[in-house]
A and B are shown apart, each in its own frame.
Chain A
Amino acid sequence: MTATVAAGAVPRLSVQGLAKTYDTKKGAVPVIADLTFDVYAAEIVCIVGPSGIGKTTLLKCLTGLQSITSGSARIDGKQIDGPPEEMALVFQEYTRSLMPWLTVEKNVRLPLKHLRLPAAEREDRIRAALAAVGLSGAESKYPWQLSGGMQQRVAIARAIAYRPEVLIMDEPFASVDAQTRFELEDLCLKIRDEFGMTIVVVTHDIDEAVYLSDRVVVLGERPARVTEIIDVGFGRVRDQIATRATQEFAELRTAVFELIRRAG
Chain B
Amino acid sequence: MTVTSTVLIRTREARRQQRSGLPKWVLIGAEILVPILLLAAWWLASANSTNTFFPPLQTILERLVSLAATPAFWGDLGSSVGNLLISFVLACVIGVGLGIALGMSRWLSWLVEPTIHFFRAIPPVALVPIFVSLIGFGNETRILAITLSAVFPVLISTIDGIHAADPDRRAVGRIYRLGGWDRIFSVALPEASPRILSGMQVSLITAFVVMIASEMLGSSIGLGARTLLAQQSFMIADMWVGILVLGIIGYVATALLATFRRRVLRWYIAIRQQEKNL
Q: Spell out A's residues near B (CB within 8 Å).
A: 63, 65, 83, 85, 87-89, 91, 93, 96-97, 99-102, 110-111, 113-114, 133-135, 142, 144-147, 149-150, 158, 162, 179-180, 183, 186-187, 190
Contact = CB atoms under 8 A, between A and B. Distances in A.
A88 to B, nearest CB: 7
22 contacts: A89-B171, A97-B169, A99-B187, A100-B271, A101-B190, A101-B191, A101-B267, A111-B177, A113-B178, A114-B178, A114-B179, A114-B182, A142-B267, A144-B271, A144-B274, A147-B4, A150-B3, A150-B5, A150-B6, A180-B5, A183-B4, A186-B1
Interface of B: 1-7, 9, 166, 168-169, 171-172, 174-179, 182, 186-187, 190-191, 193, 267-268, 270-271, 274
A130 B193 CA distance: 28
Nearest to A145: B9
Contact of B177 (A83, A145, A186, A190): A83
Contact of A149 (B5, B166, B169, B176): B5
B268 to A, nearest CB: 7
A93 B2 CA distance: 22
Name the residue in A101, A110, A134, A150 with the highest tally of chain B Cβ atoms < 10 Å from its Cβ: A101
Given A101-B191, A179-B4, 4 more contacts: A83-B177, A89-B175, A97-B168, A110-B186
Contacts of A187: 1
Contacts of A65: 171, 174-175
B29 to A, nearest CB: 31
Given A101-B190, A145-B9, A183-B4, A91 B177 contact: no
Main SS class of interface, A: mixed
B7 A111 contact: no
B166 A96 contact: yes
Contacts of A88: 175-176
B177 A110 contact: no
A113 B174 contact: no
B179 A113 contact: yes
B5 A96 contact: no
A97 B1 contact: no
Given A93-B168, A99-B187, A142-B267, A134 B3 contact: yes
